């Protein structure tokens, strides 16, 4: 079965004052219809850049140097600008950690939603308003009439996040890219938003790419996941397989850093060291300098992709097939 979204060997560089920074170094993963797929890793691993690549929302300094992003038989990377504009906000939409990056402060929620719906679906004003009301209700906002006539600043943080999700799903996209959608929220609201995303997946047949630095969020929400490190996928598979049998030391490190209910206030087992500043320049395994299990070969030779079990693979000399 072919995936609805197929990211193949995606490579991307930023032009910087200090030369080229190789941010993505061959990212490969696929997302099936109706699944929640997690992209997880520490800050700077390339999660957001991967999401922005799918929607072609990259800054001008970014250069895609290789790979393909296939969506419904089209390569999004080579689609002309007018066609990608139709896909964006229509079949694929994206939400961000900070609602203010998606919600315009000078328009009401209703005005913003109606504009998007009319633009993509060619509906009348009255139809667009009805659809906006329906979407605000679908994300669990009470009193949708009031929300429609509200400006973003008149809503609470949790309501803004829901309004942003309502806007993102208002054209009934096939794929939603959610970049750290709950990071700024308190734990209770975070759980509500994750539940909401899960419900939308079921009710709308939506596929979701959930981007997060928190493996705990992935455990609650995702069917499958890819662990990113230094712009590479270092481990991927079904969530349960990875949690029961992690094969990359980086994955194990992230698991040890998940806050458990009993550990509140205690210091977490963070992974010592930092992500490499130019991961493309690394020979061997980019995680080796931080890896407690690394040996000499790890620093001079690129590790192999080891198939652990069906659909589960890890890029490490120590990974074992089961």
Interface ranges with ligand ADP (CB under 6 A): 14, 16, 21, 23, 41, 43-49, 59, 61
Asked whether the beta carbons of 41 and 100 are under 8 A apart, the reply is no
Indicate the residue among 59 and 122 with the shorter CB distance to ligand ADP: 59
Q: Which does 59 bind (CB under 5 to 8 A by kind): ligand ADP, Mg ion, none?
A: ligand ADP
Q: Which does 261 bind (CB under 5 to 8 A by kind): ligand ADP, Mg ion, none?
A: none
Report d(CA 180, CA 209) in Å as an integer.
10
Report d(CA 172, CA 189) in Å as an integer.
24
Report d(CA 314, CA 189) in Å as an integer.
33
Indicate the residue among 67 and 110 with the shorter CB distance to ligand ADP: 67
Q: 3-class SS at 18? A: coil
Query: CB of residue 200 vs ligand ADP: minimum separation in angstroms?
Result: 23
Q: Which does 41 bind (CB under 5 to 8 A by kind): Mg ion, ligand ADP, none?
A: ligand ADP
Query: CB of residue 94 vs Mg ion: minimum separation in angstroms?
Result: 12
Report d(CA 180, CA 95) in Å as an integer.
8
Strands of the chain, DSSP E: 5-16, 19-31, 36-40, 62-71, 74-75, 92-95, 175-179, 207-212, 224-229, 232-238, 305-309, 312-315
Q: Which does 159 bind (CB under 5 to 8 A by kind): Mg ion, ligand ADP, none?
A: none
Q: Which does 61 bind (CB under 5 to 8 A by kind): Mg ion, ligand ADP, none?
A: ligand ADP
Indicate the residue among 22 and 120 with the shorter CB distance to ligand ADP: 22
**Residue 7 half-sphere exposure toward CB, CA atoms < 13 A:** 26
Report d(CA 77, CA 27) in Å as an integer.
14
Q: 3-class SS at 143? A: coil
Q: Say whether residue 214 binds Mg ion (CB under 5 A).
A: no
Q: Which does 23 bind (CB under 5 to 8 A by kind): ligand ADP, Mg ion, none?
A: ligand ADP
Asked whether the beta carbons of 45 and 233 are under 8 A apart, the reply is no
Using CB under 5 A, count the residues that bind Mg ion: 2
∠66-70-75 over CA atoms, to 5°?
Answer: 65
∠248-253-7 over CA atoms, to 5°?
Answer: 50
Q: Which does 46 bind (CB under 5 to 8 A by kind): ligand ADP, Mg ion, none?
A: ligand ADP
* Contact flags string 13-52 toward Mg ion, x per CB under 5 A: ----------------------------------xx----
Q: Say whether residue 251 binds Mg ion (CB under 5 A).
A: no
* Contact flags string 45-64 toward Mg ion, x per CB under 5 A: --xx----------------
Query: CB of residue 58 vs ligand ADP: minimum separation in angstroms?
Result: 8
Indicate the residue among 42 and 241 with the shorter CB distance to ligand ADP: 42
Q: Which does 78 bind (CB under 5 to 8 A by kind): Mg ion, ligand ADP, none?
A: none
- Rounded to whole angstroms, what are the CA distances from 73 to 70, 79, 146? 6, 11, 41
Site for Mg ion, rule CB under 5 A: 47-48
């Amino acid at each position: 079965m072919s995936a609805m979204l197929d990211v193949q060997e995606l490579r991307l560089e930023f032009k910087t004052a200090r030369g080229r920074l190789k941010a993505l170094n061959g990212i490969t993963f696929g997302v099936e219809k109706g699944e929640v797929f997690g992209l997880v890793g520490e800050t700077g691993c390339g999660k957001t850049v991967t999401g922005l690549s799918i929607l072609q929302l990259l800054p001008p300094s970014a250069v895609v140097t290789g790979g393909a992003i296939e969506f419904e038989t089209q390569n999004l990377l080579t689609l002309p600008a007018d066609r990608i504009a139709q896909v964006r906000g229509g079949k694929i939409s994206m939400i961000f950690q900070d609602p203010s990056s998606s919600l315009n402060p000078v328009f009401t929620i209703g005005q913003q939603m109606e504009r998007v719906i009319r633009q993509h679906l060619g509906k009348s004003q009255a139809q667009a308003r009805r659809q906006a009301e329906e979407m605000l209700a679908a994300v669990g906002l009470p009193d949708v009439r009031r929300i429609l006539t509200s400006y973003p600043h008149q809503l609470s943080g949790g309501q803004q996040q829901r309004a942003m999700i309502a806007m993102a799903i208002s054209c009934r996209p096939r794929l939603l890219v959610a970049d750290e959608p709950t990071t700024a929220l308190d734990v209770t609201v975070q759980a509500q938003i994750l539940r909401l995303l899960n419900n939308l997946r079921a009710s709308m047949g939506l596929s979701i790419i959930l981007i997060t630095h928190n493996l705990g969020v992935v455990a609650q929400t995702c069917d499958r996941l890819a662990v990113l490190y230094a712009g590479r996928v270092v481990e991927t598979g079904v969530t349960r397989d990875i949690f029961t049998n992690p094969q990359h030391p980086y994955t194990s490190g992230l698991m040890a850093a998940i806050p458990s209910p009993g550990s509140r206030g205690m210091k977490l087992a963070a992974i010592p060291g930092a992500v490499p500043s130019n991961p493309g320049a690394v020979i061997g395994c980019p995680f080796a300098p931080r890896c407690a299990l690394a040996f000499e070969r790890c620093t001079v030779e690129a590790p192999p992709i080891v198939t652990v079990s069906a659909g589960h693979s890890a890029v490490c000399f120590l990974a074992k097939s089961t």
